[in-house]
Structure 1
Amino acid sequence: MLAFLWAEDQNHLIGQAGHLPWHLPNDLQYFKKVTWNHTIIMGHKTFLSLPHGPLPRRRNIVLSHNTQLQLSNVEVVCSKELLLKLIAQDSQVFIIGGSQVFAQFLDEVEYLYVTKIAHQFVGDVYMPQIDYCHFKLVQKQKGIVNENNAWTHEFMIYQRL
């Protein structure tokens, strides 16, 4: 199963200067729960945005055009074709960003795990346009708004038809 996992604001914004434009602990906990013990794929910039390096208890794979790139405790793959071979036996694989990596796999993705935040933020990276007519909503859950989670948000899962 190949899935996208991301959070976005009302305008499909997903990043600002290499980081998330918001702090939403509910979404971070959801991300951890969903990806725990699974494979995550990201671009080099997304990897660099992780505050503590590779995420624990996950197979971390970086997709990069840089054939000389070497990272500790991370698998680096330089092409989509090699990546698809590498993950062929993995039961659950989550692409977590950035926008260029998402764009490369729009035709292959089977599930969309999206946290929709009901707010507009300032940023410079947007989610590629997804044609939702090819997906059906299979799960929707409201996030809890409190002093630590200031914005209304929902966790949604879509499955390709």
Structure 2
Amino acid sequence: MLSIIAAINENYVIGKDNKLPWHISEDLKRFKKLTTGKTIIMGRKTFESLPSVLPNRKHIVITNNINYNYDNDNVEVVHRINDVLKYKNCEDEVFIIGGGKVYAEFLPYCEKLYLTKVHSNQGGDTFFPKFDINNYEIIENEKNDSGNIKYSFLTLKLKYHI
């Protein structure tokens, strides 16, 4: 099963200058808890923005650059969306972790969205695709704040495949 995990704000911003525009410790802990032991799928820029290969996770990096290579047993480089669509029928949960173009490509195939909704209008240069929340059942909505940053953990499950 394919799922998405992302932190987005009111304007669907997810990034600025290839970084998260906010630092929310609890969001990072949630990301780690949900993705440890799982497969994570991302674009090359998202992969390169990570501090290193994340422990205890298989990384699948999607890039158009056919010469791109990364020498690590936990990293697989692929070049087409079809190379990873096989995971939509997988029993284990597989996470799409970004960036904007990858989220847009995979959103129609994902059954769950794990969102950290940051309650801000902060600008950015990378966006999550707009979607109709009415197509989803809200199975978690936990409001939080981290100092001056207010956010909610939302978990959405697709009601039906469109």
Q: TM-score, normalised by structure 1?
A: 0.91
- Report how far residue 87 of structure 1 moved: 6.9
Letter in 2 for 1:48: E
Partners of 1:67 and 1:88 in 2: CA distance: 26
Moved more, 88-97 or 111-120: 88-97
Letter in 2 for 1:132: I
| 1:114 alignment partner in structure 2 | 115
| 1:102 alignment partner in structure 2 | 103
Greater percentage in strand: 2
- Report how far residue 41 of structure 1 moved: 0.4
Distance 1:77-1:143 versus aligned 2 partners, 3 A rule: same
- Report how far residue 88 of structure 1 moved: 4.8
| 2:39 alignment partner in structure 1 | 39
- Whether the 8 Å contact between 2:24 and 2:146 is mirrored in structure 1 is no
Gaps of 5+ in 2: none
Identity of aligned residues (%): 39
Q: Secondary structure at the residue paired with 1:107?
A: helix
Partners of 2:132 and 2:88 in 1: CA distance: 25
- Report how far residue 89 of structure 1 moved: 3.9
CA RMSD of aligned residues (A): 1.5
- Whether the 8 Å contact between 2:117 and 2:151 is mirrored in structure 1 is yes
1:157 paired to 2:158:
no
Letter in 2 for 1:83: V
Q: TM-score, normalised by structure 2?
A: 0.90
- Whether the 8 Å contact between 2:4 and 2:114 is mirrored in structure 1 is yes
